[in-house]
C-alpha cells in the first residue's frame, strides 16, 4: 500500500465518493422496511445473516407485528419460530422483545432518534443505530461499518485500523459528513457487485484508478 499524506488521503476519499456515486446512483439500504421500527428490527436480524434472508423473514414478521407493543405481546416461542432461519434466533428474539419493551416503556412506542438512546436498547450497537439514524431519519451521525465497509476501506487504504469503532472514526475524518450514510451503501454495493473478497474485478472496477491495491488479493 502506497504511503500518502493525510490531506492526500482525504482528497482521494472525496474522489472515491464521487466515482461511487456515479457508479451506483440508486444505492440504498437493501433491508425492506416501511418505518423506523421495521428497519430497527430488520437490522437486528441481519447480524450474521444476509439481507435477502432477512427480507424473506420480515415479510411474514411485519404482518404479525406492526408496533413495538406487538413484539412485546408476541410469545417468545412464536417470535423464535418466525426468525429461526436468520440464525442465533433465540438471542435475536430475546433482544427484539427487550428492545421493544424499552421502546414502549421509555419512548412511548416510538423509535428514539439519538445515538445515545438507541444504543441503550437491547441488541442495538453503534452500527445498528447508524443504520436507523441514517436511513430511517436521514441523520448523518456516523458511518455504518459492516464486513464490506471494513474490508473495502482497508483495501482502499482509507484505514489501517482493525475494529469497526476505530475504522468508523477514520472514515468520519475522511468522508464528507453529508455522505456518511450513502458512503456505506456505495461501498456495500461495490463490494457485492465488483470488489469481491477473493476475486475482485479490478479490470472493470469503477474506482481502480483511486485504489492503491489494484490487483492485490
Report the catalytic residues. 127, 146
Distance CA 186, CA 107 (A): 32
Closest CA relative to residue 56, chosen from 88, 26, 31, 77:
31
Half-sphere exposure of 191 (CA within 13 A, CB side): 19
Distance CA 181, CA 198 (A): 26
153, exposed or middle or buried, with CB in 10 Å at 0-12, 13-18, 19+?
Answer: buried
Amino acid at each position: 500500500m502506497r504511503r500518502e499524506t493525510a490531506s492526500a488521503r482525504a482528497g482521494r476519499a472525496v474522489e472515491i465518493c464521487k466515482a461511487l456515486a456515479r457508479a451506483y446512483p440508486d444505492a440504498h439500504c437493501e433491508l425492506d422496511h416501511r418505518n423506523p421500527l421495521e428497519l430497527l428490527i430488520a437490522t437486528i436480524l441481519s447480524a450474521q445473516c444476509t439481507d435477502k434472508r432477512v427480507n424473506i423473514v420480515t415479510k411474514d414478521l411485519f404482518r404479525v407485528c406492526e408496533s413495538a407493543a406487538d413484539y412485546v405481546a408476541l410469545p417468545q416461542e412464536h417470535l423464535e419460530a418466525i426468525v429461526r432461519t436468520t440464525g442465533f434466533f433465540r438471542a435475536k428474539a430475546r433482544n427484539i422483545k427487550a428492545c421493544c419493551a424499552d421502546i414502549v416503556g421509555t419512548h412511548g412506542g416510538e423509535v428514539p432518534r439519538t445515538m445515545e438512546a438507541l444504543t441503550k436498547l437491547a441488541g442495538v450497537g453503534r452500527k445498528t443505530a447508524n443504520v436507523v439514524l441514517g436511513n430511517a431519519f436521514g441523520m448523518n451521525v456516523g458511518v455504518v461499518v459492516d464486513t464490506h465497509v471494513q474490508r473495502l476501506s482497508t483495501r482502499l487504504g482509507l484505514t489501517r485500523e482493525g475494529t469497526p469503532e476505530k475504522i468508523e472514526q477514520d472514515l468520519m475524518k475522511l468522508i464528507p459528513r453529508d455522505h456518511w450514510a450513502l458512503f456505506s451503501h456505495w461501498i456495500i454495493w461495490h463490494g457485492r457487485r465488483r470488489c469481491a473478497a477473493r476475486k475482485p474485478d479490478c479490470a472493470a472496477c469503477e474506482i481502480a484508478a483511486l485504489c492503491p491495491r489494484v490487483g492485490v488479493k
